[in-house]
Structure 1
């Protein structure tokens, strides 16, 4: 077996644990130096491959690579850049193969969501078509938890923990002031089509009266009259109301409540602003004083409160990706397979990229209560193990200490073809 180099890239919105997957890839590859040569990373994701802007991870010390396990963000840079179909965008796919060929890259590890798995699948196809052997393995990553086949996605567990903790802590604040001040608190969380993150807030509710009192899911059409009635009921019963809303909540016609009319790089509607909209609606209709918050980047970058389960799974999937590639598996993605809930046990499985690409996993109907505002016991049983455990980063002078990568560039060998 001829030794080949590997290319690793991060894609889409980053998470608190995507670098743990990078750590798993790089450390495992270093343990197989007889089969894998250098591990190159794409600077700013797949753009790094298209522009031949590669990073030599071999220039990083073992300690710095190990520190990736507890470092948030994307250590090598990520991007929202979607490669379309091979026929309509053939030049870019051919460019990827050209760059891989120039740098003797035989392994492609793409760490991202559904669009990224689609790209990895297409690269495996164009490689075969052009007669260039490239082993492509996707590594799941998305805070939205919406990839199919895998039980859950790295990045989600830590966001779920952050949202559940923030909901509980904010509720204590609101309850303290409800008699004379704020009665309504609305927190907006991520989740375009699937309500997994919003559902996680429900873990904060352990007994009658606990927040959140209302959860709004993308899977349930927003009914204004029903919503306001539920808010009024909570305020009369508990003297305050905490609401957690997914950014992707839609009306009965399927229109996002927070659609700004702007599209992102993937062609998705740019969302944001549903929390203030709901807060002002409550003020106008019910007269209650409010506060609102948008968790935004805070929820996905909060490595200081990452779930230990999430960190371990992120690392394990990075490690498994390399092991699958060395076994000759191509166009596959390692998955998490749940073996039991109590005690929580999981193992690594695999899925074909063709079955994962561009498929979204929504919340099952039996995970949402009949009234549409709460999670069920079945949902709680699924979510609870994913936020378990703490995996704190090292602290110094009261602040977490994170890896600082050198990100040394690999010398270019080709003429520039794309400027992105």
Structure 2
């Protein structure tokens, strides 16, 4: 039995498969006789010494995490600043780790979480505390650097593609006497990966979605409206997929919700679909419907991609393996080894190549006119949404998801102030 405790925490927006990664982490550690604590509500739980004893959960409950969406232990949007600027909180974190003999820290999140895991590893080294830190990839935005794709994205992409195709069939049926334009808003602050996934719903100039708006391309209203009208004149209706993060040429978010910035420094977005719908209605005098799937995109475990689930499980297992081998400040990333047939493997990448970097859509993935995806994008995206991995269903017709006990271990330190 390895000496010490493993601490696992979830960070940022959750996904349909982040609990699958948690399941793999706990099951792999249990097989190695390593005790696993989970921080309640991410890094906040670690700072507050609110640590969940996962050994109090049954094997069946931990296994059921693999088909349960959300974040089983809670997550948070809190980013620690630099080691110097946030020294008291980092020292508090180190005190908590010492108090519970934590020798391995696994932080499951995106770019900012990779940065936090890297800084904690640097702090431990500075103080001579034997700690191995491993970042674990997760994000529906698919914007993590180095990794070919990110667990969580494939399922959100599948939900997006299926939803756009189904909505398009509805619009087509009603277009003669009703809705002419339908706008679907996809998540994506700076990178248009989910908007691009909507492009998988159809193929060809007359197939929906007819127009995709990417954050990687400036939004030019006059050109957009002209193209909407042209599609309606040619096809009879127009389906638009718009990323929430589209910006004007001067860098202003079209959908700035006016809610300020979160602790990550991100502008609160929301409402690009309603804005675009309003502009189409006012300028083109066409009947418009719009939708904001929002959390539905990332929580739809009932429509998860089998590929995505397999990758979420694989990075969880690899993270524990790397940690117990003493591979510090790394992240298990997905490497694509073949497109046809699709093949992939998990490899270790240093956190300093991932932290605070952002992977946007390659130029070659966006059609020359800026309003659609290319064949290269399809070749990349299609394997990520393949396969079905439905949860078990009960007699009531609803998925049988699990809720953990989440029993805290006794605190050993004074209450956290700060």
TM-score scaled by length of structure 1: 0.98
- The one of 138, 142, 145 aligned to 2:142: 145
Tell me how many residue pairs correspond in the alignment: 416
Q: Which residues of 2 match residues 150-165 of structure 1 at below 5 A?
A: 150-165=147-162
Number of the residue aligned with 1:20: 20
The alpha carbon displacement at 1:208 in A equals 4.2
Q: Determine if the alignment matches structure 1 residue 222 to structure 2 residue 219.
A: yes
The alpha carbon displacement at 1:163 in A equals 0.4
Q: Determine if the alignment matches structure 1 residue 205 to structure 2 residue 191.
A: no
Number of the residue aligned with 1:277: 275
The alpha carbon displacement at 1:195 in A equals 0.2
- Is the contact made by 1:156 and 1:310 (CA closer than 8 Å) also made in structure 2? yes
Measured in 1, the distance between the counterparts of 2:368 and 2:381 equals: 19
- Is the contact made by 1:20 and 1:314 (CA closer than 8 Å) also made in structure 2? yes
Q: Which residues of 2 match residues 386-401 of structure 1 at below 5 A?
A: 386-396=384-394, 397-401=396-400
Number of the residue aligned with 1:93: 90
The alpha carbon displacement at 1:199 in A equals 0.2
The alpha carbon displacement at 1:206 in A equals 2.9
Number of the residue aligned with 1:341: 339
Measured in 2, the distance between the counterparts of 1:48 and 1:235 equals: 52
- Secondary structure at the residue paired with 2:36? strand
TM-score scaled by length of structure 2: 0.98
- Secondary structure at the residue paired with 1:270? strand
Measured in 1, the distance between the counterparts of 2:51 and 2:331 equals: 23
Q: Deviations over 1:162-199 (max 9, x none)?
A: 00000000001111110001111001111000000000
Number of the residue aligned with 2:3: 3
Q: Deviations over 1:125-182 (max 9, x none)?
A: 0001111111000000000000010000000000000000000000011111100011
Number of the residue aligned with 2:108: 111
Pair 2,171 (structure 1): closer, same or farther in 2 beyond 3 Å: closer
- Is the contact made by 2:2 and 2:32 (CA closer than 8 Å) also made in structure 1? no
Q: Determine if the alignment matches structure 1 residue 385 to structure 2 residue 380.
A: no
Measured in 2, the distance between the counterparts of 1:5 and 1:241 equals: 55
Number of the residue aligned with 1:405: 404
Measured in 1, the distance between the counterparts of 2:212 and 2:257 equals: 22
Q: Determine if the alignment matches structure 1 residue 31 to structure 2 residue 31.
A: yes
Measured in 2, the distance between the counterparts of 1:283 and 1:325 equals: 55
Number of the residue aligned with 1:184: 181
- Secondary structure at the residue paired with 2:265? coil
Pair 185,131 (structure 1): closer, same or farther in 2 beyond 3 Å: same
- Secondary structure at the residue paired with 1:399? coil
- Is the contact made by 1:46 and 1:81 (CA closer than 8 Å) also made in structure 2? yes
Measured in 2, the distance between the counterparts of 1:366 and 1:242 equals: 23
Measured in 2, the distance between the counterparts of 1:390 and 1:270 equals: 33
Q: Which residues of 2 match residues 240-319 of structure 1 at below 5 A?
A: 240-261=237-258, 262-319=260-317
- Is the contact made by 1:50 and 1:418 (CA closer than 8 Å) also made in structure 2? no
Q: Determine if the alignment matches structure 1 residue 127 to structure 2 residue 124.
A: yes
Measured in 1, the distance between the counterparts of 2:171 and 2:310 equals: 35
